[in-house]
Amino acid sequence: MHDGLWDKIDALDVAKISERLELPCAATFEGFEITFIYRVFEVDFKHREIRRLDQAGQPVPAEFLEQLCILSYLIHAQNGPLAGKLVKGEQLEAGQFFFRGHHSLPVQDLVDAFGDDPKKLLCVAQDLGGRLCDYGDVSLEIMLLPDTPVTFIVWGADDEFPASGSILFDETVARQLPLDALLAAVNLAMKRVAPK
């Protein structure tokens, strides 16, 4: 699975990835432990495997999209400070062309889940570990991967306006993930934020 991405990883020096991303090398296997949407994953370069550690600490094979996101991050991400400026996906380079149709960000899913009662998003923050922000009626920042936050914002419906929402990124997000992997990561985060 993802042979092309693994080939790119193989061409990189593990020590240089570790240094670039400030990820410590694992002690028991050739690779890293990395946190993806508040879950710990083991990336084993030797066996080309990515495993999620379940609640009992037992390894479970990572799903297809989890692997895509983690491998893309290891290949592309650059260490550096966040800008502290939030932007829409469409404001990212090529974002206005990418985030359309089937590649749209799941804003409607966010509104469907929390538009009638935005305060339900507060429970998600407690359960998932995200950080509450001061946007909209309720907003939550979730760390997808190291230095890769996404902010979910919900405005509840009232007598004048229907519910609405927004999904924003730090403007540095494009140096962390290509757009396809970013969309996959946001969709995986939405499954954790608003499971169906």
Chain segment 164-177, per-residue pLDDT in tens? 999 999 999 999 99
Domain final position from 40, 56, 76: 76
pLDDT computed for residue 53 by the predictor: 84
Q: Are residues 71 and 137 in the same domain?
A: no
148: containing domain = 86-193
Q: CA-to-CA distance for 12 and 120, rounded, in angstroms?
A: 43
Please give the structure tokens belonging to residue 107.
Answer: 């804003």
Is the pLDDT at 10 greater than 80, yes or no? Answer: yes
Domain final position from 21, 50, 76: 76
Q: Are residues 21 and 104 in the same domain?
A: no
Q: CA-to-CA distance for 64 and 189, rounded, in angstroms?
A: 14
Average pLDDT over residues 84-109: 96
Share of the chain above pLDDT 90, in %: 76
SS3 88: strand
pTM over 0.85: yes
Q: Are residues 51 and 126 in the same domain?
A: no
Q: Are residues 181 and 159 in the same domain?
A: yes
- Is 45 part of a structural domain of the chain? yes
Q: Indicate the number of domains in the chain.
A: 2
- Is 81 part of a structural domain of the chain? no
Is the pLDDT at 18 greater than 80, yes or no? Answer: yes
Amino acid identity at 70: I
Q: Are residues 108 and 166 in the same domain?
A: yes
pLDDT computed for residue 28 by the predictor: 76
pLDDT computed for residue 69 by the predictor: 98
Q: Are residues 67 and 90 in the same domain?
A: no
What is the pLDDT of the chain when averaged over all its residues? Answer: 93
Q: CA-to-CA distance for 176 and 72, rounded, in angstroms?
A: 8
Q: Are residues 99 and 180 in the same domain?
A: yes
- Is 153 part of a structural domain of the chain? yes
* pLDDT digits 0-9 by tens, 122-155: 888 878 888 999 999 999 999 999 999 999 999 9
Q: CA-to-CA distance for 19 and 176, rounded, in angstroms?
A: 15
- Is 187 part of a structural domain of the chain? yes
Domain final position from 17, 43, 76: 76
pLDDT computed for residue 27 by the predictor: 74
DSSP 111-169: HHHHSS-TTHHHHHHHHH--EEESSSSEEEEEEEETTEEEEEEEE---SSS--EEEEEE
Confidence tier at 179 by pLDDT (50, 70, 90): very high
